[in-house]
Structure 1
């Protein structure tokens, strides 16, 4: 009998980063702590993100993107979802005034958040309603494609997740939503891994792997430029069962430091 695989759900997440003056890290990333009642990664420290909504794929949104982003793009709905999710979960909006071309200011962000943040999160309106009413351009051109992970076939819930990276606008104040996420922090990659090893953070395996990669960069500019300039390798971990236990295998072509990890070790992280 062939086991039926759980269907893949499209999802997007975004690494919002900034330069850091700490001695151990040159870059910081904004991360949120998932609510303990959320059914996936509850209580974990994660990047803002979530499932792609039907409204994220609305063809009408093409007219509210930079001209350079209006061609055929299989990742368009994922990019828009990552912008929407960062607005909902992190209070960061990667969008411009269509008349001036300037990124949304802090004052404008607060006005938009008060009016649209919760309705978007609750699914009461699609993002096209906000961008059309407020004359916004979604700044998908600022997003670099950082990683692509697909949940292993044996898992009961599976996601097709694209990771994006962008410099956080310096004039916008990041803040968790208090609903899906209950805490937030600007944190360096090395600090994330050190605190996770001490048991102070719960960090799921794909998040940890991408946090580690982020730590290789000396500046936010370099990290985003590299994502824009290189192709992304799709990671679909494979299960290996041996006398020693169960292991997840990751292709070395993906560029991570780990290619084989015990499943129980992953669950502990």
Structure 2
């Protein structure tokens, strides 16, 4: 009797970007070596959605109207960015609204001691935002990608990728629990580091780095990717003409690659 593949879990990942000397830089964190998924890999902040991320009580504390799945995933993306980097994509409730400024370093530093408790589920993120007179700036996120893990993988995720300009003057720092290092790095520089054997980067992260590498600035990335239709990518298992197991994604996805050898898929 055949078994059904495990259903993918809603997840979110956020590419926080800032302008570098020549090209945009993206915040990446290194996963702890004892984590059960992507151990030791260089990734963007992200993770699984929690039940609280879908609470209707968030409606009063979020900017933007995106519908159930998109709102849940965007809340998860903002929460994960806070947990793993300390960056807070939020506004003061008295200054809410699209194009209004995000909170400054003083607010982010005030809430920083709660990062670990939010991560462990000991502190409600919703209550933390509410009690500090804030709203999440969900409208500051640009939907960048949507990947669903192949059926044959033991851990499966339905992951929405978002692009977010870095909050001015806030300082990013890894959490020391799930992540052990953090770096602002150009997309192509990260790809070059993996090619040189200096970094481990999992397949979806690599593909989204390749997509980001085509942007010339943060403004260019926000304008161009914000105008694009996000197409769901679900790699399919196949074989190369030489008989090597591989994953295949359609050319229309625009990631500059259609085949990935399973031997290169780090999980």
With structure 2 as the length reference, what TM-score do the two structures score? 0.94
Q: Distance in 2 between matches of 1:147 and 1:71?
A: 16
**Cα distance, 1:73 vs structure 2:** 4.5
Equivalent residue, structure 1, for 2:48 = 51
Equivalent residue, structure 1, for 2:85 = 90
What is the total number of aligned residue pairs between the two structures? 262
Change (3 A) 1:72 1:265: closer
Equivalent residue, structure 2, for 1:35 = 32
Equivalent residue, structure 1, for 2:4 = 4
**Cα distance, 1:169 vs structure 2:** 1.1
Q: Distance in 1 between matches of 2:108 and 2:13?
A: 20
CA deviation string 1:40-77 (max 9, x = no partner): 000000000000010001101011112xx236353100
Q: Distance in 2 between matches of 1:103 and 1:249?
A: 40
- Equivalent runs, 1:222-233 vs 2, <5 Å: 222-233=220-231
User: Where does structure 2 lack aligned partners over 5 or more consecutive residues?
Assistant: none
Change (3 A) 1:211 1:71: closer
Check whether the contact 1:63–1:70 (CA below 8 A) recurs between aligned residues. no
- Equivalent runs, 1:100-179 vs 2, <5 Å: 100-101=95-96, 102-114=101-113, 116-179=114-177
User: Where does structure 1 lack aligned partners over 5 or more consecutive residues?
Assistant: none
Q: Which moved more, 1:30-39 or 1:3-12?
A: 3-12
Equivalent residue, structure 1, for 2:194 = 196
Change (3 A) 1:239 1:139: same
Change (3 A) 1:73 1:54: closer
Root-mean-square deviation (CA, aligned residues, Å) is 1.5
Q: Distance in 2 between matches of 1:244 and 1:157?
A: 25
